[in-house]
Amino acid sequence: MNVSVQFRKNDNTLQGFVEGELDTYTAPMLREELDSIQLFEGMSIELDLSNVRYMDSTGLGVFVAFYKKVMKQKANLKLVALSSRLARLFEITGLSELMEIESVKKV
């Protein structure tokens, strides 16, 4: 089990592409990657979760902690391309009411 994050800067937006499984073992790796981001007021961070195959409560906790850090710096966070399964996880925990989340559109 592994997780990787690739970043791409685009003007005032930092795009992150998360891939793998987020669990007790891999969540610290994701936390470390997200903590390395130098946040500033007005910055936008967009995290693409289309290649996240599995996430447990530990993974959710990483996103909650990062969301709080982003809000404290008056920046913006958007989670995009969530599978219906991941989107449901954010919905049942109530996190979709706090965070900006865009799930994958079904055709």
Per residue, the 3-state secondary structure of the chain, as one string, reads: CCEEEEEEEECCEEEEEEEEEECCCCHHHHHHHHHCCCCCCCCEEEEEEEEEEEECHHHHHHHHHHHHHHHHCCCEEEEEEECHHHHHHHHHCCHHHCCEEEECCCC
Backbone angles phi, psi at 82, to 5 degrees: -75, 140
Give the pLDDT confidence score for residue 1 in this predicted structure: 65
**Tens digits of pLDDT across the chain (107 residues):** 689 999 999 888 999 999 999 999 999 999 999 999 999 999 999 999 999 999 999 999 999 999 999 999 999 999 999 999 999 999 999 999 999 999 875 54
What pLDDT score does 107 carry? 41
C-alpha to C-alpha distance for 46 and 63, rounded to whole angstroms: 12
Distances, alpha carbon 41 to alpha carbons 5, 72, 74, 77, 81, in Å: 23, 9, 5, 12, 25
Q: What is the pLDDT of residue 30?
A: 95
Domains of the chain, CATH where assigned: 3-103 (3.30.750.24)
CA 47, distance to chain mean position in Å, is: 5
